[in-house]
Amino acid sequence: MPTNVFPLDSTKPFTDQKVLGHNRWHPDIPPAASVRPGDTFRVDCREWFDGYIRNDDSAEDIASAPLNTVHALSGPFRIEGAKPGDLLIVDIVDVGPIPQEDEGPLAGQGWGYTGIFAKRNGGSFLTDEFPDAYKAVWDFRGDRATSRHVPGVEFTGMIHPGLMGTAPSAELLGRWNTREAALIATDPQRVPALALPPEPDGAILGGVPDGDRERVAGEGARTAPPRENGGNQDIKNLTKGTRIFYPVFVDGANFSVGDLHFSQGDGEITFCGGIEMGGFLDLHVDVIPGGMEKYGVAENAIFMPGDTPPQHSRWLSFSGTSVTLDGEQRYLDSHLAYQRACLHAIDYLSTFGWSKEQAYLLLGAAPVEGRFSGVVDIPNACATVYLPLDIFDIDIRPGAGDVPQIDPGIGAPRASVG
């Protein structure tokens, strides 16, 4: 086993571990460990809510999820010799749930969860249509997942970290805070929020000295969004065998990682999405000196995805355009088009007996593909979502006969936020 530079004990909270991680981005968070180019090392990861979400049949935990505390990140890891302007090569040598533990109360111990955040606590991609909180618990067997809350489906997960990235420089962090504050200022009371400003409450800052904590907590960027440093990209294709190239903004790169998903559909549309879990990564790192200029990479990660994704050869696909449900025409809005495509898929699946929230949870968790199909055909963008046919126990293709019906079982737990 590669040396574990960030071990986690499943029986203790994230803040009681030998080495403390972090849940904010800031250049002054010191490295939790140092590695060298060419090293392979292991990193344990805690599920993003540090165990708050339970393996039960209630969605109250999703409804009250403490958003200030995410994401529980492992790191930062200093890569010796890496300098601003370099590209950091990260190979995902292996990634999986918590090793040797497949029972227990912590997501990653043989199970994971998908949540739909309530509109008043986080929201989601389709929050206007699904304003309440929902949850599905998934059980793992090898790399396959099933759920008592979404019966009638089984699929091979695309295990990946939802969040990886390098530390921002002070200058870059400043830009983030400035531009996001400007956005928030356009509608400060919006529910859900437009963006999340720095928030000292709940901040975990690794080895930041006490004297700096208040300042760093007040400046540290939230980890929800993807940004120039990578961050919470939620790219489902970052599976085992993937090589990623990150821009380096500070000496040592200060790389962090977390938010493991057992599986996820393109977009992670339920927000508390994918199938959330804790686990481990084996990483190999290297550096391309001056790689940012050499390859014209000023920001955002480049990657070569792994070569062992689950194979699917038959798909049923849904399209959407940038017209709102109320019939308003928007201008080339791919985001809206993808919402409409997802809603079409949900409507379709509901004719087979799944509840709409079960279908929504499935689209967030299963390896569905979401594609930009037309982005120039004014005024409508066209987006498409592809469902692999072989994850369903029944044949969901449209045809001449009766529509087969599944037993929706106990359904997806639901909770309202008042």
Closest to a copy of itself by CB, 209 vs 379, is 379
At residue 227's C-alpha, the angle toward residues 225 and 229, to 5°, is 125
Q: Least distance to a copy of itself from the beta carbon of 75, Å?
A: 19
Smallest gap, in angstroms, from Cβ of residue 209 to a copy of itself? Answer: 30
What's the CA gap between 359 and 364, in Å, rounded? 9
Q: Contacting a copy of itself (CB under 8 A), which of 205, 386, 413, 414?
A: 386
Q: Which of 396, 388, 390 is nearest to 353 (CA)?
A: 396
CB of 380 to a copy of itself, least distance (A): 4
**Ordered alpha helix ranges (H), 366-418:** none
Fill in the DSSP letter of residue 14.
G
Q: Which of 340, 198, 259 is nearest to 48 (CA)?
A: 259
Please list, in sequence order, all residues whose beta carbon lies within 8 angstroms of the beta carbon of residue 246, skipping any fewer than 6 positions away.
Answer: 87, 88, 90, 164, 165, 166, 229, 230, 253, 255, 301
CB 62 within 8 A of CB 134: yes
Query: Which region, judged by CB under 8 A, interacts with a copy of itself, from 10-18, 22-30, 75-83, 297-305?
Result: 297-305
x/- map, 16-35, a copy of itself, by CB under 8 A: --------------------
Figure out which of the listed residues 16, 210, 211, 397 binds a copy of itself, where binding follows CB under 8 A: 397
String of contacts with a copy of itself for each residue 55-74, x by CB under 8 A: --------------------
Instruction: Indicate which single residue of 192, 353, 408, 411 sits in contact with a copy of itself (rule: CB under 8 A).
Output: 192
328 binds a copy of itself (CB under 8 A): yes
In sequence order, the β-bridge partners of residue 35 are: 79
Query: Which residue(s) pair with 173 in the sheet?
Result: none
Closer CB to a copy of itself, 20 or 316, in the complex = 316
If the CB atoms of residues 208 and 229 are measured against a copy of itself, the closer one turns out to be: 229
* Minimum CB distance to a copy of itself, residue 325 (Å): 10
Q: Judged by CB under 8 A, does residue 141 bind a copy of itself?
A: yes
Q: According to CB under 8 A, which residues from 399 to 418 bind a copy of itself? A: 399-400, 403
Please tell me the distance from the alpha carbon of residue 74 to that of residue 86, in angstroms, as a whole number: 22
Q: Is the dihedral of CA 407, 126, 324, 381 positive or negative?
A: negative
Per-residue binder mask for a copy of itself (CB under 8 A), 344-383, x = binder = x--xx-xx-----------------xxxxxxxxxxxxxxx
Smallest distance, a copy of itself to C-beta of residue 379, A: 4
Compare residues 101 and 212 and give the one whose CB is closer to a copy of itself.
101
Q: Where does residue 65 rank: exposed (0-12), middle (13-18), buried (19+ CB within 10 A)? A: buried
Residue in 20, 332, 415, 417 binding a copy of itself, rule: CB under 8 A: 332
The binder of a copy of itself chosen from 19, 20, 316, 417 (CB under 8 A): 316
Q: Is residue 318 within a helix (H) or strand (E), and if so which, with residue range? A: strand 315-321
Pair type for strands 87-97 and 243-247: antiparallel
Stretch of 5-13, 54-62, 248-256, 295-303 contacting a copy of itself, by CB under 8 A: 295-303
166, 292 Cβ separation under 8 angstroms:
no
Those residues with Cβ within 8 angstroms of residue 104's Cβ, 6 or more apart along the chain or in another chain: 10, 110
Q: CB neighbours of 21 closer than 8 A, spacing ≥ 6?
A: 6, 14, 32, 46, 72, 73, 74, 75, 204, 206, 256, 258
Q: Which span (75-83, 201-209, 250-258, 299-307) binds a copy of itself, by CB under 8 A? A: 299-307
- Please pick, from the candidates 73, 92, 107, 118, the single residue that binds a copy of itself as defined by CB under 8 A: 92
Nearer residue to a copy of itself within complex by CB, 36 or 344: 344
